[in-house]
């Protein structure tokens, strides 16, 4: 008997949240309104009272963060090549130049030694990415930034619920961007938020997300910055509020699932197969994804095909950004980030979502071992 398909990711929307969305639809107020305000208040409380503004994606949050930081033409921004392409695209959007620093082969996050080596007089900011929810060494990151007078825009798209030394990612640091896209630990279907430093930055974020508009009195309207159309709707915020009520439970479950993956793969898996497991980090990471780097002898497309034939959903996150056509056209070439290039060719993401059963992990591990054998 064929087993049901096990998806790579699966959002879970409970009935209370569905009812709340229906209430928003019936209310007649479906764009930004009271639900957005309530969601921002909930997020601010979660991040220790820091100002938080919500948006319609976790991409525009980074672009707006760069604009708030004053990054533009002539500036360089250091980032990782292993991320969703949006991380680098937003640098281009503000007219700055992405500088790719290679990754650490174990954590798969940006290598902070390479970051320091890449700093020039034109460097204005760093965008670290917390791949699969695993933070970089936050202490060292901010020592580097403070030493060189750089802004940090944290691409914490995957890191809601992650921590560093007992402190929530987003509760400290500079500008911190989160995503609530469909496969994230907490979703709004689409959306994101930006954690800011003060009321001035929060007001500027509000302008950038809605055409630069400032309203006053009954009919006063002024525009003094070039903004876009990036506001979150009350429909999305209602989903976010419903999801956020379960964040601690979701994070615990994902850590339990990751622990089961490690137990089932066992201590000899890497030596026997040549594949590389992720770091076994059960404190700081929220385990947004569980990723393997396949051995060079395996073609990733063949591996993915075999897994799908066994009814196991599989993804890959991500190819090296600097080797995509948009970046090759700008002069980026193979060889500048060799570790990232190797990982980008062979990384795969196994099923990981909060409503997975232990038996689902068993199926996924057995399938991986079967294919690699």
Q: 358-372 and 247-265 are packed helices; what angle lies between their axes, rounded to 10 degrees?
A: 40
Instruction: Identify whether residues 232 and 272 lie together within a single domain.
Output: no
pLDDT recorded at residue 1:
62
pLDDT digits (tens, 9 = 90+) for 38-81: 999 999 999 999 999 999 999 999 999 999 999 999 999 999 99
Q: What is the DSSP string of 94-125?
A: TT-EEEE-PBPTTT-SB-HHHHHHH--TTEEE
Instruction: Identify whether residues 75 and 179 lie together within a single domain.
Output: yes
pLDDT recorded at residue 186:
96
Instruction: Identify whether residues 310 and 182 lie together within a single domain.
Output: no
Instruction: Identify whether residues 337 and 227 lie together within a single domain.
Output: no
Given the residues 184, 229, 299, 369, the one annotated as active site: 184
CATH of the domain at 320: 3.90.1150.10
Instruction: Identify whether residues 272 and 161 lie together within a single domain.
Output: no
Secondary structure letter of residue 232 according to DSSP: P
Q: What percent of the chain has pLDDT over 90?
A: 99
Active site residue 41: no
Instruction: Identify whether residues 272 and 224 lie together within a single domain.
Output: no
pLDDT digits (tens, 9 = 90+) for 107-125: 999 999 999 999 999 999 9
d(CA 341, CA 81): 8
Domain C-terminal end among 244, 267, 284: 244
d(CA 169, CA 158): 11
pLDDT digits (tens, 9 = 90+) for 198-215: 999 999 999 999 999 999
Q: Residue 2 — pLDDT band, cuts 50, 70, 90?
A: confident
The dihedral over CA atoms of 350, 354, 355, 357, expressed in degrees to the nearest 10, equals 60
Mean pLDDT of the chain, nearest integer: 97
- How many domains are contained in the chain? 2
Q: Has residue 4 been placed in a domain?
A: no
Instruction: Identify whether residues 133 and 182 lie together within a single domain.
Output: yes
Instruction: Identify whether residues 77 and 160 lie together within a single domain.
Output: yes
Q: Whole domain around residue 351: which residue ranges?
A: 247-372
Instruction: Identify whether residues 240 and 251 lie together within a single domain.
Output: no
Task: Please report, for residues 15, 25, 29, 133, 269, the alpha-carbon distance to residue 19 in angstroms, rounded to integers and kept in the order given.
Answer: 6, 10, 15, 30, 46
């Amino acid at each position: 008997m064929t087993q049901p398909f096990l998806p790579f990711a699966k959002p879970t929307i409970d009935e209370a949240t569905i009812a709340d969305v229906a209430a928003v639809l019936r209310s007649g107020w479906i764009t930004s309104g009271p639900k957005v305000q309530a969601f921002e208040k909930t997020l601010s409380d979660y991040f220790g009272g820091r100002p938080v503004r919500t948006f319609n994606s976790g991409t525009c949050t980074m672009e707006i963060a760069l604009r708030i930081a004053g990054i533009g033409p002539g500036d360089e921004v250091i980032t990782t090549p292993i991320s969703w392409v949006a991380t680098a695209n937003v640098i281009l959007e503000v007219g700055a130049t992405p500088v790719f620093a290679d990754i650490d082969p174990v954590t798969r996050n940006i290598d902070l030694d390479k970051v320091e080596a890449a700093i020039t007089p034109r460097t204005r900011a760093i965008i670290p990415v917390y791949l699969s929810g695993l933070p970089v060494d936050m202490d060292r990151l901010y020592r580097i930034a403070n030493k060189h007078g750089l802004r940090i825009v944290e691409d914490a798209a995957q890191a809601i619920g992650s921590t560093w030394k007992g402190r929530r990612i987003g509760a400290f640091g500079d500008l911190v961007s989160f995503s609530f896209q469909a496969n994230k630990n907490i979703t709004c279907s689409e959306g994101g938020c930006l954690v800011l430093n003060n009321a001035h930055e929060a007001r500027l974020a509000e302008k950038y997300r809605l055409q630069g508009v400032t309203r006053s009195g009954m009919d006063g309207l002024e525009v003094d910055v070039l903004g876009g159309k990036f506001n979150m709707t009350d429909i999305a915020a209602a989903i976010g509020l419903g999801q956020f009520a379960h964040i601690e439970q979701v994070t615990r479950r994902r850590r339990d699932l990751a622990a089961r993956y490690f137990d089932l793969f066992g201590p000899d898996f890497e030596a026997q197969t040549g594949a590389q497991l992720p770091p076994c980090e059960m404190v700081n990471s929220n385990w947004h994804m569980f990723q393997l780097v396949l051995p060079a002898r395996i073609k990733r497309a063949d591996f993915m095909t075999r897994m799908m034939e066994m009814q196991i959903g599989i993804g890959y996150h991500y190819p090296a950004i600097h080797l995509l056509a948009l970046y090759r056209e700008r002069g980026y070439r193979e060889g500048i980030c060799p570790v990232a290039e190797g990982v980008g060719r062979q990384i795969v993401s196994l099923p990981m979502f909060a409503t997975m059963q232990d038996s689902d992990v068993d199926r996924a591990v057995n399938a991986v071992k079967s294919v690699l054998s």
